[in-house]
A and B are shown apart, each in its own frame.
Chain A
Amino acid sequence: MTETIVIIGAGQAGAQAVISLRAEGFSGPITLIGDEAYAPYQRPPLSKAYLMGTFERARLFLKPESFYADAGCTLIVNTAVTAVDRATKTVRLSDGRALSYSKLLIATGTRVRPIPCPGAGLSGIHSLRSIADVDGLQAVFRPGKKLVVIGGGFIGLEVAAVAAKHGLDVTVFEAMERVMARAVSTPISDFFAIAHRAAGVTLITSTGVDGFEGEGAVSGVRAGGKTYPADIVLVGIGVLPNVEIAAAAGLECKNGLVVDKYCATSDPAIFAAGDCTWHQGRGHGEDEGNWMRLESVQNAIDQAKHAAASMVGKPKPYNEVPWFWSDQYDLKLQIAGLAWPGDEIVVRGEPSARKFSVFHLRGGVLAAVEAVNMPADYLVGRKLIGEHAKVSAARLADTSIPIKNVVG
């Protein structure tokens, strides 16, 4: 009997799985199901060039629509999966259809975390994860408008940077004491805070938002005992994994759908990849990897490749170095590896030159690098992290030694 593969979630991981399943030699039918109106597209440009208006929509798509048909993949858009029935190996769709699978890939990604504040339902309060979200935001993105961004993470700060360049009056609230605290080290947070303030952004840290004011449409944001006028609000306070259908099917879920190193769930016919998975990261020395959920293009692509390999019976353990990037103004932040509290931190270069890197050593071994406008530091760092290389802190800090020669 021909095997049939169904993929729930037409994002970066879902598209990669189609590509990788064919590259691995799977020849049976594939169905890719997405609940948005579009074929799989890149999300990273949404909060950057696409919002800026310098990157047309057609460029967002990962593959032309004809690619899916040519690859023998049925692409179903605008359709949610409402249930997975493991006993009959069937998924039920929001349009009433039922599809059988031999193997199932769950790549449902995440959704934006709602803000639990009075007034959160007012119009003019936006979030940013999809093409539709950006189209809604762009329609009101006009010079002189007062934009309040809630959450100083990647999304919030990328939008703040675009808005400041666009001539909006931007205020950013961050509940933690520094921006991007979950993702980057203190020197990087401090540097980006300075950059945003220099661009005219009002950045208010250690301040959570208490609520919104307005009649129908938002007109103000209450925070720290004051009300800040707002024409537009962007909420970027993180995301939640879409694991409800997996949990309802009895698959183990924590802060994500639990998968092993082979992207397999506890059901031998069901695999998962991308932002929605709870998985064990790469180990470091004697330490086994921490369990985590990663929201990144790298994780979506690499887990999809591993899931595809597992689905065709050629499993290999997922052990990739995570990498991330963010573009804000003329600053390209590139990160490889995962920093832990307690790492030895080495700064290479001078932040005031807008070109520097922060290296993280754990037991003398390179664990992470955060590079600002220093692609060589990022690329060398990423390679050395992959090799669990021991690196001298003194040599890393010495910019007279080219980064390529830092080991040796």
Chain B
Amino acid sequence: MAKITFIDPKGERRTVEAPEGWSVMEAAVKNAIPGIDADCGGACACATCHVYVDPAWAAKLPPKEEMEETILDFAQDVTKASRLSCQLKVTAVLDGLVVTTPKNQH
């Protein structure tokens, strides 16, 4: 289990427990975190699970693969901190991860 904190655009924090091996997107959806739609369930088909990773954590994440890089191009308000949460696998290293959800996924 790893603790992951989601901060919404208004600054409200929600912390959930995520089993290792799941994606950060799944941890969000299963805990009804608002702002992560993930319509396709992680099939890289919808670009609706965009998050901003806290700068302190960016270096601990695996680099983006081509598929994620490409899909992020089509998300709204993308910054250097942007990741697709369906592509972030939960590991012990990510215990304490903090991400912010965007205003809009569509």
Residues of A within 8 A of B (CB): 42, 44-45, 59, 61-64, 67, 70, 297-298, 301, 323, 325, 327, 332, 334, 375-376, 378-380, 383, 404
Known: A63-B29, A64-B32. A375 touches B67 (CB 8 A): yes
Q: Which residues on A sit within 8 Å (CB–CB) of B45?
A: 323, 325, 334, 375, 378
A240 to chain B minimum Cβ distance, whole angstroms, is 24
Within 8 A of A (CB), among B28-72: 29-32, 39-41, 43-47, 67, 70-71
Number of residue pairs spanning A and B whose beta carbons lie under 8 angstroms apart: 51
Sample of 15 further A-B pairs with CB below 8 A, known A64-B31, A67-B32, A375-B45: A44-B41, A59-B22, A61-B30, A62-B29, A63-B30, A297-B39, A297-B40, A297-B41, A298-B39, A323-B45, A325-B43, A327-B43, A334-B45, A379-B70, A379-B73
Q: Which residues on B sit within 8 Å (CB–CB) of A325?
A: 40, 43, 45
B105 to chain A minimum Cβ distance, whole angstroms, is 13
Q: Which residues on A sit within 8 Å (CB–CB) of B43?
A: 44, 325, 327, 332
Tally B residues with Cβ within 8 Å of A: 19
Tell whether, in the assembled complex, residue A404 and residue B73 are in contact, meaning their CB atoms are under 8 Å apart. Answer: yes
> By DSSP majority rule, is chain B's interface helix, strand, loop, or mixed?
loop
Residues of B within 8 A of A (CB): 22, 26, 29-32, 39-41, 43-47, 67, 70-71, 73-74
A214 to chain B minimum Cβ distance, whole angstroms, is 37
| 11 examples of A-B residue contacts, CB within 8 angstroms | A44-B40, A44-B41, A61-B30, A63-B30, A63-B32, A297-B41, A323-B46, A334-B44, A376-B73, A379-B47, A379-B74
Q: Which residues on A sit within 8 Å (CB–CB) of B40?
A: 44, 297, 325
B5 to chain A minimum Cβ distance, whole angstroms, is 18
Q: Which residues on B sit within 8 Å (CB–CB) of A375?
A: 44-45, 67, 70-71
